[in-house]
A and B are shown apart, each in its own frame.
Chain A
Amino acid sequence: MEAAHAHDDSHDHAPSGLMRYVTTTNHKDIGTMYLWFSFTMFLVGGVMALTIRAELFQPGLQLVRPEFFNTMTTLHGLVMVFGAIMPAFVGFANWQIPLMIGAPDMAFPRMNNWSFWLLPPAAILLVGSLFAPGGGPGAGWTLYAPLTVQQGMGMDLTIFAIHILGMSSIMGSINIVTTILNMRAPGMTLMKMPLFVWTWLITAYLLIAVMPVLAGAVTMTLTDRHFGTHFFNPAGGGDPVMFQHIFWFFGHPEVYIIAIPAFGVVSQVLPAFSRKPLFGYPSMVYATASIAILSFLVWAHHMYTVGMPVEAQLYYMFATMLIAVPTGVKVFNWVATMWKGSLTFETPMLFAIGFLFLFTLGGFTGLVLSVVPVDVQLHDTYYVVAHFHYVMVAGALFSAFAGVYFWLPKWIGKMYDEKLGKIHFWLSIVFFNVAFFPQHFLGLAGMPRRIPDYSLQFVDFNMISSIGAFGFGLSQVFFLYVLLKAIKYGEKAPQRPWEGADTLEWTHLPSPAPYHSFEKAPQVK
């Protein structure tokens, strides 16, 4: 284990093979591990989603028992949010932040290693809960009391998994904030940072602020379950609705924790392929910061139906609508960036434009849901499911795809097959819409979410949705093929394959980026 004591900025004394990855403190290795981990979890969560869609292909119960169906909806949510999307963007942060600000590595390389290696045990606990006596957690990813207080051991495993994931995120965030604030190359002022770095700075602060609150909420659930406390048990003076308040105090900022780094990636990709600088850079920074601040003030719009006074509903409704303003600023700036640019449509650009269209659509359905009387009707229907999949999948995931295609040449030094990348894009966007667009209609017609059966009038749209879901799932297996082909047979990438890309990793570093980069900080003008 002497490698664990190895010098922080060691020069290639690293052990080879598997131990290289267990002991690594290199931000590029850790970034790569984060990305592969998140892709693995993405496939695991995808199989869960397909179990749900297979059951919903026809009305009645065909494949799984209702309890197992509940477990699938719960774990699909938790795995995708905490196992796939968040680690994917942390992976981007690890790879890109040091490269984009001209730092040799992250501020705390060993803590970085630990942040990553906490994830696999957490994932094992989460997925392993399926095999616990009594089955996995079935209370929905929001873990509402009192269901969570009543379930079997699988819930305890889930709670511990969330504790560990939370610790990992907090450590990762501390690392990111410190790196960005303390280790920028000389001359790179805050307002000269690439927007991706800005979005991560803001996201990391959000994470430090809300992950501990989630940890508190699940700890309360745990002590309610085993140690005789009554936070959520009305008999002992607690209140299950209070769980919802605490959870969504975390949960709403969490939505932006997922979305804001996605904004960052898109803000790098769109200017590069428009061959124009990002339109309205300062307003982008301020808009991102205002979205982050507003995210703390709107949580109860997830719970209009718990019986809150109409004054509170009005406040949350207007505050929620207010978020559309900075978000609108961002969308406007992205469109203005493309305006009169000399556009080309390589795969990253296609995914970024797909993001722009579909994320905005998801934003609009969010605006619809913010209206109290409408939401009371649509609460917990498939309309909500459609809404958040438009912002999570077509928003965050598409932006992650854009980022992978965009930076892959810098990471592995090889180009992906442009034709296959484009096929991946078109398959994804078509099947995504086939899967999720009909869910708007299902929700408007009143189909409730998280129920394994439905009445007959919903049959057609559910069939279409399930076909779309399977198509979308298979497209991602195709993505794996595109990736592996690029890694194995890709053409050698030039230092700067995208002519409009002008951040430090493209202008100063060869492709692939060397294992140790920017040991001498570049001078930024």
Chain B
Amino acid sequence: MIEDQRNANQRMMRKLVVMAFMMFGFGYLLVPLYEKICDVTGLNQVVKADEVSNTQIDDTRLINVEFDSNSRGGRWELRALESKKTVHPGELIEVMYELHNPSDISVLGQAIPSYGPAFASRYIKKLDCFCFTQQEIRAGETRQLPVVFVIDPEVPSEVHTITLSFTMFEVEGRGAINDGS
């Protein structure tokens, strides 16, 4: 009887331990799942090229676009070559950013865009952007980086100013950071 009890308990424990390990795995499974959901629903797709379907230029409206930049980590300097542009929705716009690495090691970075107001991310269609790829920048190097985008003419009429801001993040632990390579 006592032996039976013990065996039953052991079986129960094994089941529960397996369940705990499966849930640990599930925690990690949430990562690809989350990415998949973002992919399918089109959420958070800020570093991929957009398709532009509507190329009609809306001459009746003017929108101020401000260009901003931040560099996290302090290894480099990122700045927009012009701080502001006034454009029509639907117009093709190209802006240059300049990335300079004053340190004496080369670093790998990734720019992440953000928008003010946040919902403007839906209306800024980037055709080309240096944020689509990681940038490896050597010690002392200065590089000019383009952004090409169109403001969707569907943008709500109360929007008069959009700020496009890039933050340069360091990609740690990936790629060579050897000096002068």
CB of A177 closer than 8 Å to a CB of B: yes
Interchain CB contact under 8 A, A182 and B172 = no
Known A-B contacts A178-B9, A234-B110, A309-B43; A209 and B23 likewise in contact (beta carbons under 8 Å) = yes
Query: Which of A217, A229, A234, A242 is the most central at the interface, judged by chain B CB atoms within 10 Å of its CB?
Result: A234
A210 adjacent to chain B (CB < 8 Å)? yes
- The complex places the Cα of A308 from the Cα of B19 at a distance, in Å, of 31
Q: Which residues of A contact B34 (CB under 8 A)?
A: 239, 242, 245
In the complex, whether B173 has a CB less than 8 A from a CB of chain A is yes
Closest CB-CB distance, A237 to chain B, in whole Å? Answer: 8
Residue numbers in A under 8 Å from B13 (CB-CB): 107-108, 174, 178
Supposing A182-B8, A182-B9, A242-B31 touch, asked if A174 and B170 sit within 8 A by C-beta, the answer is no
Beta-carbon contacts under 8 Å, A206-262 to B:
208-217, 220, 227-231, 233-236, 239, 241-242, 245-246, 249
Whether A215 contacts B171 by the Cβ 8 Å rule is no
Collect the chain B residues with CB atoms within 8 Å of residue A173's CB: 16
Is A307 close to B, CB under 8 A?
Answer: yes
Main secondary structure of the interface of B (DSSP, over half): helix
Smallest beta-carbon distance A186→chain B, Å = 12
Chain B residue nearest to A107 (CB atoms) is: B9
**A208, A216, A239: the one within 8 Å of B44 (CB):** A239
In the complex, chain B residues whose CB is within 8 Å of the CB of A214: 27
With contact pairs A212-B27, A307-B118 given, residues A236 and B9 touching in the complex (Cβ less than 8 Å): no
What is the minimal beta-carbon distance from A223 to any residue of chain B, in angstroms? 10
A170 at the interface (CB under 8 A from B): yes
Q: Size class of B's contact patch? A: 20 to 34
A22, CB-defined interface residue at 8 Å: no
A240 shortest CB reach to chain B, Å: 11
In angstroms, Cα B21 to Cα A212, docked, is: 7
B134 contact set on A, CB distance < 8 A: 235
The answer on a CB contact under 8 Å between B173 and A216 is no
Which residues from B are CB-within-8-Å of A307?
118
CB distance from B24 to the nearest CB of A (A): 4
Is B169 in contact with chain A by the CB < 8 A criterion? yes
Complex: A231 Cα to B30 Cα, angstroms: 11
Is B56 close to A, CB under 8 A?
Answer: no
Q: Verify A235–B12 contact, CB threshold 8 A.
A: no
In this assembly, does B112 line the interface, its C-beta being within 8 Å of a C-beta of chain A? Answer: yes
Known: A177-B16, A235-B112, A242-B31. A309 touches B171 (CB 8 A): no
Closest chain A residue to B167 by CB distance? A234
Q: How far apart are the CA atoms of A211 and B22 in the complex, in Å? A: 11
Residues 152-177 of B, flagged 1 when their CB comes within 8 A of A and 0 if not, give 00000000000000000111111000
Which residue of B has the minimal Cβ distance to A235?
B169
CA distance A233 to B20 in the complex (A): 27
Task: Choose from A178, A231, A234 the contact partner of B169 (Cβ within 8 Å).
Answer: A234
Is B110 a contact partner of A236 (Cβ separation < 8 A)?
yes
The 8 A CB mask of B88-115 against A (1 = contact, 0 = none) is 0000000000000000000001101000
On whether the beta carbons of A233 and B9 are closer than 8 Å, the reply is no
Chain B residues, Cβ within 8 Å of A245: 30, 34
Smallest distance from the beta carbon of B136 to chain A beta carbons, Å? 12
**B53 in the interface, Cβ–Cβ < 8 Å?**
no
Closest residue of chain B to A234, judged by CB? Answer: B112
For the complex, is B60 an interface residue (Cβ under 8 Å from A)?
no
Residues of the A chain whose Cβ atoms lie less than 8 Å from the Cβ of B12: 107, 177-178, 181-182
Closest to A218 in B: B27
Q: Mark A40-54, 1 if CB is under 8 A from B, else 0.
A: 000000000000000
**Please, which residues of chain A bring their CB within 8 A of the CB of B19?**
208-209
Instruction: Decide if B28 touches A228 in the complex (CB within 8 Å).
Output: no
Report Cα–Cα, A412/B163, bound state, in Å: 68
- Chain B residues near A368 (CB, 8 Å)? none
A132–B171 CA distance with the chains assembled, in angstroms: 27
| Closest A-B pairs by Cβ, 6 of them | A228-B173, A216-B27, A235-B169, A212-B24, A235-B110, A213-B27
Could you list 9 A-B pairs, sorted by A, with CB under 8 Å?
Answer: A107-B13, A108-B9, A178-B9, A214-B27, A216-B27, A229-B173, A234-B169, A235-B172, A309-B43
